[in-house]
């Protein structure tokens, strides 16, 4: 049967419900679909959808999140495509919308992520399972928020050459605040500002978090940042826990707790 939905960008779509041929264009939402109990219904993913590993090995990959292969997508005959405003290219999404039903998420904070889980649950006829997930994520974060967190000025780096950080109005910045960390670059221009060494030193963050993605920061980069901010605590972090807004949020608060212990 046909059913009407509205996505997080306020766009309406009509799909044959429940959908039987889904393409996911976002790694964290691919992992969510797996957690919700879908399998055969998901026919296509991106080359960055590395979780679950069995899907990465067996599902057809339709390109990258920003470089989609339209021929591969056409061959899969999708009855639903699920994407994200930030992670996918607007022009490509608009092209897809001319051909297929496309549901887009738009996520800036934890509440948006919970709304996405609810929306996707309804979209794929897994409302009860999505409700379980939302309840579990809320409980996990309430434990984190009830802990006495030390307030530290922090910077979260996603790239080098040029240096790029999570700015304000980003999911990453919201995760920092839920950890009790104050993002020193929250008021800079742009959501992911590019910075010079001098600009970093001027803000003088007490904590520098170096993410594993999209740039693969490693131990060899720590000295480079120590020269810029000699007094800062520099920690390598798993970017999936800070930036994936699907079912991985169940585990994120426990991981954040370990990072905060290291900072202390």
CA–CA separation, 210 and 70 (whole Å):
34
CB 135 within 8 A of CB 97: no
Residue 227: partners with Cβ closer than 8 Å, 6 or more residues away: none
Average pLDDT across the chain, whole number: 96
CB 180 within 8 A of CB 149: yes
Residue 32 in this model has a pLDDT that exceeds 90: yes
Confidence label for 120 from pLDDT (cuts 50, 70 and 90): very high
CA–CA separation, 44 and 68 (whole Å):
11
Residue at token pair 């904070």? 109
| Helix or strand run (H / E) with residue 253 | helix 252-263
The confidence score (pLDDT) of residue 227 equals 98
CATH topology of domain 148-263: Rossmann fold (3.40.50)
Residue 149 in this model has a pLDDT that exceeds 80: no
| CATH superfamily of the domain spanning 2-138 | Nitrogenase molybdenum iron protein domain (3.40.50.1980)
The confidence score (pLDDT) of residue 13 equals 97
Confidence label for 148 from pLDDT (cuts 50, 70 and 90): low
Domain ranges of the chain: 2-138, 148-263
Q: What is the pLDDT of residues 91-116, one digit of tens each?
A: 999 999 999 999 999 999 999 999 99
3-state secondary structure of 24: strand
Residue 257 in this model has a pLDDT that exceeds 70: yes
The reply to whether domains 2-138 and 148-263 share a CATH topology is yes
With a pLDDT cut of 70, the percent of the chain lying above it is 99
188-195 average pLDDT score = 91
| Helix or strand run (H / E) with residue 237 | strand 233-237
| Helix or strand run (H / E) with residue 154 | strand 152-159
């Amino acid at each position: 049967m046909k059913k009407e939905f509205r996505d997080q960008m306020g766009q309406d779509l009509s799909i044959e419900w429940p959908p039987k041929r889904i393409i996911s264009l976002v790694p964290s939402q691919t992992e969510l679909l797996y957690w919700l109990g879908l399998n055969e219904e998901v026919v296509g993913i991106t080359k960055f959808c590395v979780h679950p590993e069995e899907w990465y090995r067996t599902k057809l990959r339709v390109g990258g999140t920003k470089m989609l292969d339209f021929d591969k997508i056409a061959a899969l005959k999708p009855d639903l495509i699920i994407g994200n405003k930030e992670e996918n290219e607007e022009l490509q999404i608009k092209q897809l919308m001319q051909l297929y039903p496309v549901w887009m998420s738009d996520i800036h904070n934890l509440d948006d992520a919970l709304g996405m889980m609810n929306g996707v649950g309804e979209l794929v006829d897994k409302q009860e399972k999505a409700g379980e997930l939302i309840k579990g994520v809320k409980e996990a974060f309430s434990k984190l928020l009830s802990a006495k967190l030390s307030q530290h000025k922090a910077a979260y780096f996603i790239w080098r050459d040029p240096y790029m950080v999570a700015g304000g109005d980003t999911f990453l910045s919201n995760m920092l605040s839920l950890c009790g960390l104050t993002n020193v670059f929250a008021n800079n221009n742009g959501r992911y500002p590019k910075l010079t060494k001098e600009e970093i030193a001027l803000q003088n963050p007490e904590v520098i978090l170096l993410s594993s993605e999209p740039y693969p920061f490693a131990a060899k980069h720590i000295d480079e940042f120590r020269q810029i901010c000699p007094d800062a605590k520099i920690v390598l972090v798993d970017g999936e826990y800070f930036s994936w807004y699907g079912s991985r949020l169940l585990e994120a608060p426990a991981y954040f707790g370990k990072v905060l212990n290291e900072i202390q």
